[in-house]
Structure 1
Amino acid sequence: MEMAKEVLAKENIQLNVSFKNKEEAIRYTGGILVDRGYVEPSYVDKMLEREELTSTYMGNFVAIPHGTEDAKEKVKETGLSVVTVPEGVDFGDGNIVKILIGIAGKGDEHLEILSKIAIVLSEEENIQSILDANSEEEIIRIFNEVN
């Protein structure tokens, strides 16, 4: 039997990336989930569709792009991608995003992940720590400190 993938593996994290615009940022964040086998390629289109419906900007320089409700069948495994954008990318309405967290949740697992992420990101020092991180391991540690 195949072991379930880690939800947040080192390979899911990209530090210090820069983007021209929101669409490019979302495609990149979703692309990690595709390349690592968490979702089918069409999931990325659903992430962009979701963004059209309602911005995934959460405040505090954070966006959590994820697919629409009907994108669930495109998810193979629950996974996260984390991308840091120190220069920021404009998500519209003057909202600048420096941390993108792509989410693919199988079944209802995304709800649990969302609440965990919300806890991590409610602490402003965690946001700074993520932006200051020099390694993928540091970011994984920040997320793992929350139970």
Structure 2
Amino acid sequence: MTDQILEPGNVVAAGTATTKNDAITEAGALLVAAGAVTQAYVDSMFDREASVSTYMGNFLAIPHGTNEAKESILHSALSLVRYDTPIDWDGNPVRFAVGIAGLNNEHLAILSKIAIVFSDEDEVQKLIDAGNAGEIYALLEEVNAE
């Protein structure tokens, strides 16, 4: 698996989006800027969202592309954007949009690691309370472990 799935530069402590679509764009733009995906992958994130909500519970949404967009993934990566004001995600409050791109089905292992962190309400509260992107990254760095 790719060693550095989550890079410090892909963590934003104060996202600017106020809508679900803007949050998808914001998380996707970080993946593009990291060289992990092409813009076509971000476009497919909207297709995925149109077919099934990527809201996961515990203030988390994990927007990701469709299977048809796999060729738009250059390497596996995560992006994380935290929002001070919850975003309405199909009627659910989202404080974290985690963009995900997994090469060769690596996204399944990545998803399981993110799910473990966000299934623990105490861990989610630590992420909400973190003072900056560096603190958020430190709390999530374990997703990079094999």
TM-score, length of structure 2 as denominator length: 0.91
Equivalent position of 2:122 in the other structure? 125
Secondary structure of the 1:55 match is: coil
* Aligned-residue offset at 1:5: 6.8
In structure 1, distance between residues paired with 2:82 and 2:122 = 15
1:112-139 Cα deviation digits (max 9, x unpaired):
0000011011101111111111233322
Following TM superposition, by how much is the alpha carbon of 1:145 offset from its aligned partner in structure 2, in angstroms?
4.2
Q: Which amino acid aligns with 2:33?
A: D
- Give the match for residue 90 of structure 1: 88
State whether residues 18 and 89 of structure 1, in contact with CA within 8 Å, keep that contact through their aligned partners in structure 2. no
In structure 2, distance between residues paired with 1:131 and 1:6: 23
Equivalent residue in structure 1 for 2:23, among 22, 25, 34: 25
Q: Aligned to 1:12, what secondary structure does the other structure show?
A: strand
Equivalents in 2 of 1:137, 1:77: separation in Å?
23
One-letter identity of the residue aligned with 1:71? A
The CA distance in 2 between the partners of 1:27 and 1:144, in whole Å, is 23
Q: Deviations over 1:24-66 (max 9, x none)?
A: 1101100000011000111111101100000000011110000
| % identity of equivalent residues | 44
What letter matches 1:108 in structure 2?
A: N
Q: Which residue number corresponds to residue 60 of structure 2?
A: 62
Q: Is the 8 A contact 2:11 2:133 kept in 1?
A: yes
SS at match of 2:6: coil
Change (3 A) 1:138 1:26: same
> Number of paired residues?
143
Return the TM-score normalized by structure 1.
0.91
Counterpart for residue 35 of structure 1: 33
Q: State which of 30, 42, 48 in structure 2 corresponds to 1:44.
A: 42
Alpha-carbon distance in structure 2 between the residues aligned to 1:110 and 1:39: 13
Q: Secondary structure at the match of 2:25?
A: helix
Runs of 4+ in 1 over 4 A off after TM superposition: none
Aligned-residue CA RMSD in angstroms? 1.5
Tell which deviates more after alignment, 97-106 or 16-25.
16-25
Counterparts of 2:96 and 2:16, CA distance in 1? 11
